[in-house]
Structure 1
Amino acid sequence: MSTAALALGRLGADVIVHGRDVTAGREVVEALTDAGAEATFVDADFTDPDAVQELAAATRDWTDGLDLLVNNAGGLFRDGRLVGPGIEQTFHVNHLAPYLLTAELLGHLREGARVVTTASDAHRGASLDLSQVRDTEDYSGMAAYSHSKLANVLFASELAHRLEATGRRVTSNSLHPGFIPGSQFGRFLPGPLTSLFRLIGAVPGTSSVADGAAELLHVAVADDTADHSGEYFSGQQPVPPAPAARDPDAATRLWRHSAEMLGIDEPLPVGSDTRAADSAA
């Protein structure tokens, strides 16, 4: 995210940087400031819904509106544990926290704004099973990650649908940034696996951090993606996600159950038949 943030700053954007690593976050802000951008850092723990709401409040206080919201959470955790309202941490960090942050900032998005959610082609190995997010008995880090990335694609699609249905001129898309061993993706893996993850960077077909940033920026600011919404991008092109990510009933179910898990009102409520009508069209 730091590479993309620096690029956005150089394009003239004011940037709010979020993360749990205060030192790294402040280094990004310093680099942005050196590049002539306005930037601030807000630390927030995405395992804590209260911290997410505080991040949203700080964002509203610091700005008079947002042109771009990037949901870039991508934690892969070695051990399963329940956090927040009793939810498995991978699902909470990668899906529920961005869902809550977006819900809190919906009224702060300017007309023409874009919401970009970083997903992954790892979603192609998952099917939506909301019963598993309250249980860690058979936890698998990669399976949990894949499930959370499926949730990202479904969330971005459902958000696009609801924004359109409620007359908001805001787009929502998700993307696959590539497999990026140079990122912090595997920082919670056991030591030997972390080393292997780094070594994979030499394998053809993997992506650099800069490649991943380019994918994100293409969806976030390129003119030719401005009118796209509800799509999944890979290789800087809209591509079909997995069948499980194209299920409108699953997207609606995820949206509503996410609100229930967090104990909040359903954001952007729409009639129950609108998705069915869209699917039949």
Structure 2
Amino acid sequence: MEQQDDPRTIVITGASDGIGAAAARRLSADGHEVVVVGRSAEKTAAVARPLGAGHFSADFARLADVRRLAGELREAVPRIDVLVNNAGGIFDRRELTEDGHEMTWQVNHLAPFLLTQLLLDGLLESGAAVVNTSSVAARLGRFRPEDLGDDRRWSPQRAYGDTKLANILFARALARRHGEQGLAAAAFHPGGVATNFASSTSTPLRFLYGTRLGRRLMISPERGAETLVWLAEGTPGRDWRSGGYYEKKKPARTNPRAQDGALADALWERSAELVGLSAGPPAR
């Protein structure tokens, strides 16, 4: 895709490492203003400094951090053209956050849901795009909105797959609810990327991501960031369809439940309830 004539302001969460950092470097090189967000203030600053980029730190396991981050972004970044919800992880055991939510659900879905909602007025004003990093693991998603993080059926892989399905449903719900106001949204799978993902867990994924042989079978963060960059630089309606799910810069198949509008609405309403927000009017 050709470089954009008008540079965009692009906020990327989970950008202290992996595809978030790789995308920040590529988008900055393409002339965009990048804002880097990560959990570690030191690592986030190290990514941002060579780019001359703004940077903020927040721990998505604490919703108070998300609310603080939203306030700081509203103050320091008056216009956001693209919000990339890229932060996430897989966790070794079922654990509740200080907010009372299962960790995987809070970090991978509830925190980005809250951040997006708190920035929504500005995103609508700028006609922004929201890009959610999902995964092929969304095909495993089988959650019920009333039982997010249910301990009776919890496993690291199941919780991860459930939240990655939620990332797609959230993008599609954003497009349905706010598309007529100019907001676009999409989700994507970056591929199997050689990062530190799952390296601190005892899940089978640790042996894929944490061994030399496994990492040789995977792609670089730079390649993994290509679809993220394509979505961030593209024009919805011309280059990609709002509400879509993408792999390798193309529409992709995923869990059939990702097409369930009633499930997307129920997830939205339950998520709003859990983070203490109004769900707003129903999707059209």
Normalised to the residue count of structure 2, the TM-score between the two structures is: 0.86
1:254 maps onto 2:272 in alignment: no
The correspondence for 2:36, drawn from 17, 39, 48, is 17
2:162 aligned to 111, 126, 147, which one? 147
What is the total number of aligned residue pairs between the two structures?
Answer: 261
Deviation at 1:140, TM superposition (A): 1.1
Letter in 1 for 2:173: E
Q: In the alignment, what sits opposite 1:186?
A: 198
Query: Which segments of 5 or more consecutive residues in structure 1 lack a partner in the other structure?
Result: 34-38, 275-281
Aligned residue number for residue 36 of structure 1: none
Deviation, structure 1 residue 240: 3.1
Which residue number corresponds to residue 214 of structure 1?
A: 226
Alignment partners' CA distance in 2, 1:86 and 1:258: 13
Q: Distance in 2 between matches of 1:241 and 1:189?
A: 26
Which of 83, 92, 99 is the matching residue for 2:106? 92
How many Å apart are 1:13 and its aligned residue?
A: 2.0
Work out the CA distance in 2 between the residues paired with 1:233 and 1:68. 17
- The amino acid that maps onto 1:98 is P
Q: Is the 8 A contact 1:119 1:149 kept in 2?
A: yes
Q: Give the one of 43, 50, 53 matched to 2:67.
A: 53
In 2, the alpha carbon distance for the partners of 1:108 and 1:98 equals 16
Equivalent position amino acid for 2:29 in 1:
R
Structure 1 vs Structure 2: percent identity of aligned residues? 35
Q: Secondary structure at the match of 1:66?
A: coil
Asked if 2 retains the 8 angstrom alpha-carbon contact of 1:16 and 1:59, the reply is: no
1:126 to 141, 144, 147: 141
From the superposition, tell whether residues 32 and 242 of structure 1 become closer, same or farther in structure 2 (CA, over 3 Å). same
1:72 aligns with 2:86: yes
Instruction: Indicate the structure with greater helix content.
Output: 1
Q: Which is worse superposed, 102-111 or 114-123?
A: 102-111
CA distance in 2, matches of 1:102, 1:271: 17
Separation in 1 of the partners of 2:205 and 2:86? 23
| Secondary structure of 1:82's aligned partner | coil
Q: Give structure 2 stretches of 5+ with no counterpart.
A: 1-19
**In structure 2, the residue corresponding to 1:87 is in which secondary structure?**
coil
| Paired residue secondary structure (2:73) | helix
Residues 76, 188 of structure 1: 8 Å contact kept? no
Amino acid at match of 1:70: V
Match of 2:243 among 212, 226, 230: 230
How many angstroms does 1:227 deviate by? 5.4
1:271–1:122 CA distance, 2 compared to 1 (3 A): closer
